């Protein structure tokens, strides 16, 4: 991309931001965005200077789909009506890893815009240095209305760097019509039951001529998406959440068993291509009516918004199946944060409060979907009418949640997750045996985090991973994550 292209787009009008970004190719997204921000920042400030009104720039983890954009724009118009402050919404690249790279580039380069960033639950520790402490702008009572774990997650060294707006949990979507047809009265309670039911329904539907029908779709792409899935398999089996009590505990027989089981799904009850699926890929197959079960986020229930081959009365949602130890659901979700470099911190914090407050969450959920971060809203009649699954979501969040180890590892989390998902992916693709892959992963994670493994015979978790394989700590890794 030529700098002059950037400059002319920036100078033409601040309102051209999103259109301009749409026109960028994926590969040039990062470099284009970075250059654009610098040039456009100056142009935009120049443009708004004589105007008493302020224009904030918000960069979101949102879809580029037009109907979603329209709904988001209505929300932002409401904010402008209330405050007189205008907002430009920028789209983000797809995928948590790609988005994080863009956010880091912008924030670490001191870019004055965007003013407000959407922040994944795993990012507060990575971005904290360049984000404002919202405690100075948001009344304590308002902060306390959100789930306390999310507030704790977003608090880094005493600084509240982001206010939650959406909580996500992994759930099992199932075809209630097909379950009934094949004689099942309840969704699967265990992974074994899921395997049996998925295989039987798949065989039955294929025999009826649906050649592309699959038992179970999920997210197996080498990305943060498979980190979330694999954590659920491993924790449910009793393999622990990767890091426990300041030790790396991933190399254990329970995790190995969970991984071997998932690898068996590929090409049997799940399509061979599942190892390339992110959330949308699984969702598209599900929505086309080509799968009996799907693991996806609670936010994948979009109500009326997306029409597909299956209708409301054909499916239901349940907690994920139980492993030998428990049910485990990975916590996802988002918050909003203000850049330390924003020229309008007070106004930006007002926008964050607006985006996270209860009536905005309620409206958004009605029109777009998602689950609230304010526990009180789960009893709201309007909310329950909008989504009949809120009691399942709340129960799952309260009793089955597991967090990725992003708080413990801070800036090292992206490296940890990358090592973890690459290993998982190798096992799913049959490139490595689970046992040796986990042993190598243990060593790699110890190097990345500087943490040790439990000693021989140590019991590191509630289930006691006493059979943990002994791995010598690599040299020069005695530094601890604080």
- Nearest CB to ligand GLC, comparing residues 85 and 121: 121
Binding status of residue 348 toward ligand GLC by CB under 6 A: no
Indicate which single residue of 122, 275, 335, 352 sits in contact with ligand GLC (rule: CB under 6 A).
122
34, HSE (Cβ side, Cα atoms, 13 Å): 15
Give the shortest CB-235-to-ligand GLC separation in angstroms: 16
* Nearest CB to ligand GLC, comparing residues 122 and 393: 122
**Which alpha helices (DSSP H) does 208-321 contain, by range?**
224-237, 253-265, 279-287
**Interface pick for ligand GLC out of 115, 120, 237, 254 (rule CB under 6 A):** 120
State the minimum distance, in angstroms, from the CB of residue 95 to ligand GLC. 7
73-81, 120-128, 155-163, 428-436 -> range binding ligand GLC (CB under 6 A): 120-128
The reply to whether 242 sits near ligand GLC by the rule CB under 6 A is no
Shortest Å distance, C-beta 326 to ligand GLC? 21
CA distances from 330 to 81, 226, 235, 333, 400 (A): 37, 11, 10, 10, 8
- Give 406 or 423: the residue with its C-beta nearer to ligand GLC: 406
**Span near ligand GLC by CB under 6 A; candidates 22-30, 118-126, 235-243, 419-427:** 118-126
Backbone conformation region of residue 7, classed left if phi is above 0, alpha if psi is from -120 to 50, else beta: alpha
Q: Which of 111/228 has CB closer to ligand GLC?
A: 228
How crowded is the C-beta side of 373, counted as CA atoms within 13 Å? 33
Nearest to 377 by CA among 368, 391, 367: 391
Any idea what the Cα angle at residue 54 is, between residues 47 and 80, rounded to 5°?
125
Binding mask 157-176 for ligand GLC (x = CB under 6 A): -----------x--------
Nearer to ligand GLC, 225 or 248 (CB): 225
Instruction: Enumerate residues 277-336 that contact ligand GLC by CB under 6 A.
Output: 279, 297, 332-333
Nearer to ligand GLC, 122 or 446 (CB): 122
Give the CA angle between residues 2, 4, 9 to the nearest 5°: 105
Residues 376-435 contacting ligand GLC, CB under 6 A: none
Ramachandran sector of residue 217 (left: φ over 0; alpha: ψ -120 to 50; beta: rest): beta
CB of 65 to ligand GLC, least distance (A): 15
Cβ burial of 46 (10 Å; 0-12, 13-18, 19+) is exposed
- Non-local CB neighbours of 223 within 8 Å, separated by 6+ positions: 95, 96, 97, 278, 421
CB-count burial class (<10 Å; 0-12, 13-18, 19+) for 108: exposed
Binder among 96, 231, 377, 402 for ligand GLC (CB under 6 A):
96
**Nearer to ligand GLC by C-beta: 131 or 150?**
150
Within residues 33-62, the interface with ligand GLC by CB under 6 A covers: none
DSSP states along 314-331? G-EEEPPPB-SS---EEE
Give yes or no for residue 224 binding ligand GLC (CB under 6 A).
Answer: yes
Shortest reach from residue 91's CB to ligand GLC, in Å:
15
Contacts of 122 (CB under 8 A, 6+ apart): 96, 224, 404, 406, 413, 417
């006691």: which residue's tokens? Answer: 464
**For ligand GLC, which residue of 10, 58, 118, 121 counts as binding (CB under 6 A)?**
121
- Kindly state the number of chain residues that form the binding site for ligand GLC, as judged by CB under 6 A: 12
User: What are the DSSP calls for 240-256, one per residue?
Assistant: --SEETTEE---SHHHH
Q: Which two tokens stand for residue 268?
A: 């049997």
Determine which residue in the list 106, 116, 225, 441 makes contact with ligand GLC, applying CB under 6 A: 225
Say if CB 198 and CB 329 are below 8 A apart.
Answer: no
**CB of residue 297 to ligand GLC, shortest distance in Å:** 5
CB of 129 to ligand GLC, least distance (A): 21
Contacting positions for ligand GLC (CB under 6 A): 96, 120-122, 168, 224-225, 228, 279, 297, 332-333
């Amino acid at each position: 991309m030529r700098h002059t292209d950037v400059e002319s787009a920036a100078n033409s009008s601040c309102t051209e931001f999103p259109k301009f970004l749409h026109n960028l190719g994926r590969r040039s997204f990062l470099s284009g965005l970075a250059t654009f921000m610098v040039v456009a920042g100056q142009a935009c400030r120049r443009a708004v200077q004589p105007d008493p009104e302020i224009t904030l720039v918000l960069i979101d983890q949102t879809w580029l789909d037009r109907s979603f954009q329209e709904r988001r724009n209505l929300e932002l118009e409401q904010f402008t009506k209330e405050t007189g402050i205008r907002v430009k919404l920028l789209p983000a690249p797809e995928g948590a890893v790609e988005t994080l790279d863009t956010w880091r580039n912008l924030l670490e380069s001191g870019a004055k815009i965007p003013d407000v960033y959407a922040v994944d639950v795993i990012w507060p520790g990575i971005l904290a240095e360049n984000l404002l402490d919202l405690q100075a702008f948001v009344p304590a009572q308002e902060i306390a209305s959100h789930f306390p774990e999310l507030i704790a997650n977003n608090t880094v060294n005493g600084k509240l760097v982001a206010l939650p707006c959406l909580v996500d949990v992994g759930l099992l979507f199932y075809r209630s019509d097909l379950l009934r047809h094949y004689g099942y009265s309840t969704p699967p309670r265990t992974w074994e039951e899921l395997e049996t039911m998925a295989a039987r329904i798949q065989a039955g539907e294929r025999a009826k001529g649906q050649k592309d029908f699959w038992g179970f779709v999920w997210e197996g792409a080498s990305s943060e998406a498979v980190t979330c899935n694999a954590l659920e398999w491993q924790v449910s089996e009793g393999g622990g959440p990767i890091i426990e009590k300041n030790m790396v505990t991933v190399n254990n027989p329970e995790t190995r068993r969970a991984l071997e089981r998932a690898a068996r799904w590929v090409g049997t009850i799940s399509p061979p291509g599942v190892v390339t699926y992110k959330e949308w890929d699984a969702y598209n197959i599900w929505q086309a009516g080509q799968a009996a079960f799907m693991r996806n986020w609670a936010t994948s229930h979009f109500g009326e918004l997306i029409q597909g081959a299956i209708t409301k009365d054909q499916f239901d949602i349940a907690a994920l199946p139980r492993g030998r130890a428990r049910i485990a659901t990975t916590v996802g979700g988002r918050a909003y944060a203000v850049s330390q470099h924003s020229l309008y911190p007070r106004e930006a914090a007002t926008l964050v409060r607006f985006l996270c407050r209860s009536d905005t969450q309620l409206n958004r959920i009605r029109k777009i979907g998602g689950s609230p971060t304010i526990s009180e809203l789960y009893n709201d009649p309007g909310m329950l009418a909008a989504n009949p699954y809120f009691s399942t979501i709340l129960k799952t969040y309260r009793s089955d949640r597991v967090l990725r180890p992003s708080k413990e590892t801070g800036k090292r989390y992206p490296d940890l997750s990358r090592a973890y998902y690459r290993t998982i992916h190798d096992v799913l693709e049959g490139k490595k045996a689970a046992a040796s892959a986990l042993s190598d992963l243990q060593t790699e994670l110890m190097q990345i985090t500087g943490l040790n493994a439990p000693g021989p015979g140590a019991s590191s978790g509630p289930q006691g991973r006493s059979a943990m394989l002994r791995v010598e700590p690599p040299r020069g890794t005695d530094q601890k994550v604080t």
